[in-house]
């Protein structure tokens, strides 16, 4: 069953959508659903019908998605390993007057997804790029989080290696905006554990899982409670996650301020490594994060 064939209430609007100008020689950066096939705009569907080809991360995935809307198009593979090479081919086709859509597997292209290099190259060639806005997991999670902060810092995926992840978290811990992270299910418990260790247990976290899908779940708790919530039920560790972490209080994070005071005293007598190890034992915070902070304090001194 195709989605459009079964729902005709929007059809009068399609005429209005079609009246807009859709220039040729243009790349259309087009957001696709992050789960629910219904989360695509009428304008995006109109453009998908109009374009000469669709550049996409995974041709099988996009072929299936287009089929759900009753569409079939020429598909051009454009993933993170061939973005530069494919940009040249797209530019040649755009210069010949074609319209091409750029999509990723889910959500908005170039947001923790390939696409930015292609857009950069197309713009540099003097060609037009038109966005077709739609689903993005980060904004969907933020809109339903209830976290009262107008500002957010989108950090996407943290590094996979624990040392690099902790160093990045140590840099992010003083940001007062809500922190937005994407995370894979097999790392979710480790990541929330690291967040609690480095940011302290008191801040709020929102775990937004499987947004727009059957098992959608949006759970808010403190960082100190998050790991226990995830491990209480194996299903809670499955699927796709957005993590939203309350920003540091504007006068600084109390746990880290205390850790910095302790590190300052220890650094008068010990090496950076010893100071970090002792501070970790005193505060219960992660040694790696304290090591990074001790290095920064030493350099400032
Ligand atoms: N470009 C996409 C966007 O605009 O949101 C993000 C693509 S990124 C490769 C995929 C990650 O986004 C997932 O690992 C997960 O962290 C997050 N994500 C995507 N869909 C999601 C969903 N339905 N629910 C929760 N998180 C999702």
Q: Give CA–CA dist 301/292, Å, rounded.
A: 14
CA of 159 to the centre of ligand 1 (A): 16
CA of 288 to the centre of ligand 1 (A): 28
Hey, where are the domains in the chain? 13-135, 138-245, 250-300
Residue 206 · residue 219 · CB < 8 Å: yes
- Mean pLDDT of the 54-62 span: 97
187 lines ligand 1 (CB under 6 A): no
Q: Which atom of ligand 1 is nearest to the CA of 135?
A: 4
Domains 13-135 and 138-245 alike in fold: no
Q: Which atom of ligand 1 is nearest to the CA of 108?
A: 4
Q: Give CA–CA dist 269/255, Å, rounded.
A: 22
Is residue 263 very low, low, confident or very high in pLDDT (cuts 50, 70, 90)?
very high
Question: What pLDDT, in 10s, does the model give residues 70-113?
Answer: 999 999 999 888 998 999 999 999 999 999 999 999 999 999 99
pTM of the predicted protein model:
0.83
pLDDT at 217: 98
* Pairing of β 217-222 and β 99-102: unpaired
Is residue 174 very low, low, confident or very high in pLDDT (cuts 50, 70, 90)?
very high
Residue 4 · residue 65 · CB < 8 Å: no
Is residue 200 very low, low, confident or very high in pLDDT (cuts 50, 70, 90)?
very high
Write out the H or E segment, with its range, that includes residue 89. helix 83-95
- Mean pLDDT of the 220-238 span: 96
CA of 280 to the centre of ligand 1 (A): 34
The mean pLDDT value of the chain amounts to 93
Kindly give, in sequence order, each residue whose CB lies less than 8 Å from that of residue 157, ignoring residues fewer than 6 positions away.
112, 181, 182, 183, 184
Residue 65 · residue 34 · CB < 8 Å: no
136 lines ligand 1 (CB under 6 A): yes
CA of 301 to the centre of ligand 1 (A): 42
Question: What pLDDT, in 10s, does the model give residues 16-55?
Answer: 898 889 999 999 999 999 999 999 999 999 999 999 999 9
Q: Which atom of ligand 1 is nearest to the CA of 182?
A: 16
> The domain 138-245: what is its CATH number?
3.30.950.10
Is residue 248 very low, low, confident or very high in pLDDT (cuts 50, 70, 90)?
very high
Mutate to test the pocket of ligand 1, among 242, 244, 245 (most ligand atoms within 8 A of CB): 242
Question: What pLDDT, in 10s, does the model give residues 1-17?
Answer: 555 545 677 778 888 89
Question: What pLDDT, in 10s, does the model give residues 149-170?
Answer: 999 999 999 999 999 999 999 9
What residue's CA is closest to ligand 1, atom 19? 137
13-135 classified as CATH 3.40.50.12780: no
pLDDT at 54: 98
- Mean pLDDT of the 197-224 span: 96
102 lines ligand 1 (CB under 6 A): no
pLDDT at 5: 45
Give the sheet arrangement for strand 178-183, strand by strand.
152-157, 178-183, 241-245, 204-209, 217-222
CA of 157 to the centre of ligand 1 (A): 10
Share of the chain above pLDDT 90, in %: 80
Is residue 253 very low, low, confident or very high in pLDDT (cuts 50, 70, 90)?
low
Write out the H or E segment, with its range, that includes residue 14. helix 11-19
pLDDT at 259: 85
């Amino acid at each position: 069953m195709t989605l459009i064939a079964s729902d005709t209430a929007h059809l009068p609007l399609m005429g209005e959508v079609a009246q807009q100008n859709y220039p040729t020689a243009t790349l259309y950066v087009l957001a696709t659903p992050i789960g629910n096939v219904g989360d695509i705009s009428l304008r995006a569907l109109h453009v998908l019908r109009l374009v000469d080809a669709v550049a996409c991360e995974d041709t099988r995935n996009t072929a299936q998605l287009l089929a759900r809307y009753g569409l079939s198009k020429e598909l051009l593979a454009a993933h993170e390993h061939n973005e530069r090479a494919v940009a040249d081919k797209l530019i040649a086709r755009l210069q010949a007057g074609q319209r091409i859509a750029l999509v990723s597997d889910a959500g908005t292209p170039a947001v923790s997804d390939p696409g930015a290099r292609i857009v950069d190259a197309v713009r540099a060639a003097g060609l037009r790029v038109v966005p077709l806005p739609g689903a993005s997991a980060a904004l969907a999670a933020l809109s339903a989080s209830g976290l009262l902060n107008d500002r957010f810092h989108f950090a996407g995926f943290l590094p996979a290696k624990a040392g690099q992840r902790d160093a990045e978290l140590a840099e992010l811990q003083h940001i007062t905006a809500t922190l937005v992270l994407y995370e894979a299910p097999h790392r979710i418990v480790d990541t929330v554990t690291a967040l609690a260790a480095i940011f302290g247990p008191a801040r709020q976290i929102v775990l937004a899982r499987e947004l727009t899908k059957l098992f959608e779940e949006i759970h808010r708790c403190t960082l100190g409670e998050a790991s226990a919530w995830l491990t209480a039920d194996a299903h809670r560790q499955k699927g796709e996650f957005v993590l939203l972490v309350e920003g540091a209080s504007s006068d600084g994070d109390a746990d880290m301020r205390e850790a910095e005071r302790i590190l300052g005293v220890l650094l008068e007598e010990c090496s950076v490594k010893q100071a970090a190890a002792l501070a970790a034992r005193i505060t219960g915070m992660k040694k790696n994060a304290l090591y990074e902070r001790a290095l920064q304090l030493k350099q400032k001194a």
